[in-house]
Structure 1
Amino acid sequence: MLNEFDDLAGQLYLNIESKWTIFDSVPSQYPSNESQIADVSEEEKYSQIIKMRREKIIDIQLGDSTPHLIISFESGSILFVIGFHEKYECWQVGVESDNWLVVACPMNGVATWTSNKFE
């Protein structure tokens, strides 16, 4: 079992397949579906995410009834990723060389794969 001093050996990654947005602070209510997130160009998305690339993550949460991914940063900004789709995975988070993965599966499912370190 991992303890607070263990490191995961590998590059952490987030693959996003659904709509996402960045909030400057905690909103009064998070979007519940993709139609509630504004369409922006790919260039604008890259610009937004590049500005946050070195920010320290202070909290990661999943939505209460849907696995929306909510990542809070030290600056107060929040990356919000929609976690529901009827047919497709919305997002995947993992460690490239350490065999662990968390996936938002179709219809509000969440699947996990872990290395032997977690047993």
Structure 2
Amino acid sequence: MNKEDHQIARKLVSTYLTGTQISTIHLTGFISIELINLYDATIPDISIRIETDRLYYGDVESSKDWVVRHMPKEEMLHLIVTLHTERIIAVRIGKAAPHLFITFSSGKTLVINGSDTYYESWAIDMTLPDKGLVSIVAVPGDELAVFASDNTLLHNQTHE
């Protein structure tokens, strides 16, 4: 993975997603989740687009044999709906593959597969005040890409 994009993405997700919770779920060809921070109104609009059907939910810290698995859309939707009352307490992106690890207040972690040969697995879109849209995308080939409407934002995020 591109080290600079990984560093920017890691900083953005930990800064803006921690403390949020699921506010809205949209179901189209993929699942889209909008997040809200009820305790900090300065947090920007954030959405996570899940385009993969491979997830894991459980304790990744103490379980050495966890694995993402194919999950039917109905089961994915049910799981995400049950998580809407929990706050996100930690977020990280895998180093070898761009899996997205979202830890909730229950202590359990939702792992969204980021490894696909042909398709984007997930994307996070953030509208940052006065800075524009930023997208973090798990792209094919175990890569991560960060796009911003204002490229100076990306430079500033890595040097703060």
TM-score range, shorter chain: 0.7 to 0.9
Compared with structure 1, are the counterparts of its residues 6 and 100 closer, same or farther at alpha carbon in structure 2 (3 Å cutoff)?
farther
- Give the secondary structure class of the aligned counterpart of 1:49: helix
Residue in structure 2 matched with residue 107 of structure 1 by the alignment: 141
> CA contact under 8 A between 2:117 and 2:141: conserved in structure 1?
yes
Tell me the distance in 2 between the aligned counterparts of 1:20 and 1:54. Answer: 23
Instruction: Name the Cα RMSD after superposition.
Output: 2.8
Tell me the distance in 2 between the aligned counterparts of 1:43 and 1:6. Answer: 32
> CA contact under 8 A between 1:22 and 1:77: conserved in structure 2?
no
Gaps spanning 5+ residues in structure 2: where?
Answer: 1-11, 17-39
How many equivalent residue pairs? Answer: 112
Identity %: 25
Superposed displacement of residue 77, structure 1: 1.6
Residue in structure 2 matched with residue 65 of structure 1 by the alignment: 96
Residue in structure 2 matched with residue 21 of structure 1 by the alignment: 55
Superposed displacement of residue 22, structure 1: 4.1
After the TM superposition, which residues 39-78 of structure 1 pair with which residues of structure 2 at under 5 Å, given as runs? 39-78=70-109
Q: TM-score, normalised by structure 2?
A: 0.59
Residue in structure 2 matched with residue 90 of structure 1 by the alignment: 121
Q: TM-score, normalised by structure 1?
A: 0.76
Bigger relative CO (Cα 8 Å, ≥ 6 apart):
1
* Richer in strand (by share): 2
Map Cα deviations across residues 38-85 of structure 1 (whole Å, 9 max, x no partner): x44322221111010121111111112110111111111211111111
Superposed displacement of residue 23, structure 1: 2.3
Paired amino acid for 2:80: I
